[in-house]
């Protein structure tokens, strides 16, 4: 009898247990158990490790892993993490209960977008560049009739050159043809197969109709909102069941009025309650918010001006940390400004500062 895990285990290659040396866990990888690994040839890889059993309760997990392997093995795009191979590792003393699936991918020196916006307030300029990368990856998937179903900042890696890559295809679904739709089945009642409610499209939350590619466009809008506000859509304190209620009432997350017109217009297009009213990924690539020519016209000074949500709760929470946050923001802006100076300009500024201090004893 061939089990689901037997099928997964067949998709192996030269990256075997003996050929790869496992390294430390990559803690920034969206909460997944992902490690560095070094091949015999000295190449760094990323290894996603998942413990599974042959028991019936792991059937959904195994099916997700099979789909992730199938999709990643047939995709190749600069904004999607590159799959290499997989292997099934049996325990030293075989018990037929637990084994470990290892999914090998290109190693990316990265943060997740969630880590990035937590550590650094993202300007709209930065957000727009990241959004174009994400959208480019989504468009590639949709052209191959693949729905990701779990677009959010935690599932997007940003490499050390600022390029975004979609990861975690465990919830993804490949459609047989362009017109096929995904029917919401009984196992989706707990949302384990369809992502997280804060990024979930209304048609999934309502469980009332089949759905398709537009669910990724809704999640993209939520992800952009997440980058700009530095918290999950609908608010960090809103419970999942409350989000479902809002979605079933055809509500959308709050779009701050302080965002630029281009940002607000882009979000409104993505966050249409009816899926047929959302643009395709291909059409959104022409939107001014992510248009390369529009990005080039943005002044360089924009890169140091982060968006600050106009939220009374957020303001009250941050008042106690005003002095530390203000000094951190100022130092960040000063540092970015200094990086744009030449050596001669920097020397002149330092000399002038020293001269001013000599003239004004209070500055000494």
pLDDT in tens, 302-331: 543 444 444 443 333 434 444 444 444 433
Residues 34 and 58 in one domain: yes
Give domain status of residue 199, yes or no: yes
pLDDT value at residue 66: 82
Domain that holds residue 141: 110-311
Query: Based on the domain organization, do 124 and 206 belong to the same domain?
Result: yes
- Order of strands, sheet of 34-39, starting from the edge strand that comes earlier in the sequence: 20-25, 34-39, 44-53, 98-106, 83-89
147-197 tens-digit pLDDT? 999 999 999 999 989 999 999 888 888 887 766 777 655 444 444 445 588
Mean pLDDT (whole number) for 195-222: 87
Confidence check: pLDDT of 8 > 50: no
> Given pLDDT bands bounded at 50, 70 and 90, which one contains residue 57?
low
pLDDT at 130: 97
Q: Just list the catalytic residues.
A: 150
Share of the chain above pLDDT 70, in %: 65
Among residues 212, 131, 128, 130, the alpha carbon closest in space to that of 173 is found at 212
pLDDT at 305: 40
Predicted TM-score (pTM) of this structure: 0.72
* Apex 47 CA angle, 121 and 97, nearest 5: 125
Query: How sure is the predictor about 30, in pLDDT bands with cuts at 50, 70 and 90?
Result: very low
Query: Do residues 236 and 130 both lie within one domain?
Result: yes
**pLDDT at 227 (0 to 100):** 96
User: Of residues 11 and 357, which shows the higher confidence score?
Assistant: 357
pLDDT, averaged across the chain: 76
Average pLDDT over residues 137-152: 95
Residue 190 lies in a domain: yes
Residues 6+ apart with CB under 8 A from 161: none
Question: What is the total count of domains within the chain?
Answer: 2
Distance CA 164, CA 173 (A): 21
pLDDT at 14 over 70: no
Residues 150 and 263 in one domain: yes
The per-residue pLDDT for range 264-300, each reduced to its tens digit, is 999 999 999 999 999 999 999 999 999 877 766 665 4
My answer on whether 161 and 77 are in the same domain is no
Is the domain of 119 the same as that of 92? no
Task: Give the CATH number, domain containing residue 180.
Answer: 1.10.510.10
Cα 357 to Cα 250, 338, 346: the distances in Å are 61, 20, 17
Domain ends where: 85, 106, 127?
106
* One domain, residues 101 and 124: no
Within a domain: 295: yes
168 against 29, higher pLDDT: 168
Write the DSSP string, 259-287. S-HHHHHHHHHHT-SSGGGSPPHHHHTTS
Question: Do residue 35 and residue 52 come from a single domain?
Answer: yes
Residues 235 and 280 grouped into a single domain: yes
Convert the pLDDT of each residue in 214-254 to its tens digit.
999 999 999 999 999 999 998 888 888 888 888 888 889 99
Q: What is the CATH number of the domain that holds 97?
A: 3.30.200.20
316 within domain boundaries: no
- Amino acid 7: pLDDT: 42
Distance CA 261, CA 312 (A): 22
């Amino acid at each position: 009898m061939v089990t689901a895990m037997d099928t997964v285990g067949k998709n192996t290659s030269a990256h075997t247990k003996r050929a790869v040396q496992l390294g430390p866990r990559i803690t920034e990888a969206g909460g997944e158990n992902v490690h560095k690994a070094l091949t015999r040839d000295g190449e760094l890889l990323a290894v996603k490790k998942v413990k599974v059993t042959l028991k019936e309760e792991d059937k959904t997990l195994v099916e997700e892993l099979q789909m992730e392997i199938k999709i990643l093995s047939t995709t190749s795009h600069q904004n999607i993490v590159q799959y290499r191979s997989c292997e099934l590792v049996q325990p030293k003393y075989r018990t037929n209960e637990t084994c470990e699936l290892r999914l090998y991918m290109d190693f990316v020196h990265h943060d997740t977008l969630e880590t990035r916006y937590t550590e650094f307030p993202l300007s709209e300029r930065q957000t727009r560049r990241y959004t174009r990368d994400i959208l480019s990856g989504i468009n590639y998937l949709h052209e191959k009739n693949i729905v990701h179903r779990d677009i959010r900042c935690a599932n997007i890696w940003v490499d050390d050159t600022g390029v975004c890559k979609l990861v975690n295809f465990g919830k993804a679904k490949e459609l047989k043809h362009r017109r096929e739709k995904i029917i919401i089945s009984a196992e989706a009642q707990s949302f384990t197969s369809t992502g997280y409610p804060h990024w979930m499209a209304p048609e999934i939350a309502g469980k009332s109709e089949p759905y398709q590619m537009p669910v990724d466009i809704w999640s993209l809008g939520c992800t952009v909102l997440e980058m700009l506000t530095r918290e999950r859509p609908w608010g960090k304190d809103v419970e999942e069941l409350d989000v479902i209620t809002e979605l079933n009432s055809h509500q959308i997350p709050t779009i701050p009025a302080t965002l630029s017109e281009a940002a607000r217009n882009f979000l409104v297009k993505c966050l249409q309650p009816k899926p047929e009213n959302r643009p395709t990924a291909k059409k959104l690539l022409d939107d001014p918010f992510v248009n390369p020519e529009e990005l080039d016209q943005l002044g360089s000074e924009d890169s140091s001006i982060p968006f600050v949500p106009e939220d009374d709760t957020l303001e009250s929470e941050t008042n106690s940390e005003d002095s530390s946050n203000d000094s951190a923001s100022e130092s960040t802006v000063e540092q970015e400004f200094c990086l744009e100076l030449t050596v001669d300009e920097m020397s002149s500024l330092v000399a002038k500062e020293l001269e001013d201090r000599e003239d004004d004893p209070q500055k000494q």
